[in-house]
Structure 1
Amino acid sequence: MSVAMGMLDAGMDAFIIGITGRTGGLLAQELLSRGDTVHGLVRREEQRADLAALGVDAVVGDLAEVSVDALAAAFGTVDAVVFGAGSNGGSAQDTKAIDGDGVAKAIEAARRAGVSRLALVSVLPESWRERDLGEEVEYYFAVKKEADIALSRSDLDWLILRPSLLVDDPGTGTVSLGPAEFHGQVARADVAATLAALLHEPRIGRQILELTTGSVPIRDAVEANVRRR
């Protein structure tokens, strides 16, 4: 077995920002099922206690208020940080604080903590283009794009995953994953499973990948996006 392939099944230590969200929670379960160690950021003490019962070590803090140094201390020596928080097109103030400034904090905190791998759950740029979205949602898309740019220009081992419309249907275990995909919909469970597989694939880094429903098994879809040199 090669060193690279050996790393695929090695346990990792991951920190999830947005762990109490639906996708973040599913990702935590997926990583735990692989034998990984999972940490997260929560806003309330009762959330921390609930996650502790599942084997997750959470830190209490508000992403909009926490300092970069405090976030870096929370990261500690983890192998990877996942940014899955989002305002979901709420008020412009929340969008800036979470989707914009929150990502900027995570990038700098990862750098200060010495954590090189940071995965960002973003959005497909084509999402809902057929609709009149209104100013706040348009602002949300603009801020998400700015965050993608900021991360892609960082010196981290970054990964940007852009899922299409998220739905709560059961996962199918098959997806369509690549640098460019059509906007459709995808089960949150499949997003979580794909992200977990991507985190365990050290040969994928500094890439933007789009994700939607498809017919390719997740492991094969991830393998197909390894850059060949």
Structure 2
Amino acid sequence: MKKVLIIGANGKVGKHITKKMKEADDFTPTALIRKEEQKSHFDDLGVDSKVVSLEDSVDKLKEAITGHDAIVFTAGSGGNTGSDKTLTVDLDGAVKTMEAAKYAGVDRYVMVSAMMADNREVWEKLDGMKPYYVAKHYADQFLKSSGLNYTILRPGLLLDEEGTGKIDIENPASKKGVPREDVAATVLASLRSDNSNNKIFEFNTGDTEIERVVS
């Protein structure tokens, strides 16, 4: 049973990941959340939770990470905050969890990033979104150079519709988005497959079974 700390568990993708891991027989999820009032959702699921902010110290994050086998990072400052929070949460918060993971001896790290996080030309065309993409880009870059055993997932537009269990990594830009439920399923499949180690998957909804894509 793999113990996984889900950072950003209270987000829309994070809740899907947590639920799927709770229902699986090969994972034990722990939800990392930033507010006490968020605990009740995870208590109802029967999932342990830890209240820690990504703006806390590396040492405090290390305490939360210690004892787990893997980390999933799916946190974000949200669309209602400014560029300062994007910098301190989406970028520095992510980097601090990578530093803390190394100190805690936790090697496996799955990052939920964003499609086109390496394409600066695209950032310039997305009004108001450039700070978000800059943060995602450099968090991904740090992860790649961290020495951790990483998988970086870069989904397209996130949708609330029911998942299909299928994605496309061959020509993802031709599609219009991907259900959050399928992003969560891709996280679990990545953790189950050694072939996803130290790889980046950029994807949208598609016709290929998720397990086949990452295996």
Q: Same fold (TM over 0.5)?
A: yes
TM superposition outliers: structure 1 runs of 4+ over 3 Å: 126-132
Give the aligned partner of residue 82 of structure 2: 91
Q: Distance in 2 between matches of 1:47 and 1:209?
A: 30
Alpha carbons 2:123, 2:129 under 8 Å: kept: no
Q: Distance in 2 between matches of 1:131 and 1:102?
A: 24
Give the aligned partner of residue 51 of structure 1: 42
Give the aligned partner of residue 133 of structure 1: 126
Q: Which segments of 5 or more consecutive residues in structure 1 lack a partner in the other structure?
A: 1-10, 224-229
Give the aligned partner of residue 183 of structure 2: 191
Change (3 A) 1:79 1:91: same
Displacement of 1:130 after TM fit? 9.3
Alpha carbons 1:177, 1:222 under 8 Å: kept: no
- Which secondary structure state, in structure 2, belongs to the residue aligned with residue 182 of structure 1? helix
Determine whether 1:182 maps to 2:135.
no
Alpha carbons 1:19, 1:40 under 8 Å: kept: yes
Q: Distance in 2 between matches of 1:130 and 1:116?
A: 31
- Which secondary structure state, in structure 2, belongs to the residue aligned with residue 175 of structure 1? strand
Give the aligned partner of residue 8 of structure 1: none
Give the aligned partner of residue 3 of structure 1: none
* RMSD over equivalenced CA pairs, Å: 2.1
Determine whether 1:41 maps to 2:43.
no
Q: How many residues align?
A: 210
* Percent of paired sites with the same residue: 37
Q: Which segments of 5 or more consecutive residues in structure 2 lack a partner in the other structure?
A: none
- Decide which structure has greater helix share: 2
Displacement of 1:18 after TM fit? 0.5
Alpha carbons 1:127, 1:165 under 8 Å: kept: no
Displacement of 1:149 after TM fit? 0.5
Alpha carbons 1:122, 1:144 under 8 Å: kept: yes
C-alpha deviations, 1:56-77, integer Å up to 9, x for none? 111112212x111111111121
The aligned amino acid for 2:126 is: L
Alpha carbons 2:124, 2:130 under 8 Å: kept: no
Change (3 A) 1:172 1:20: same
Q: Distance in 2 between matches of 1:69 and 1:131?
A: 36
Displacement of 1:132 after TM fit? 4.4
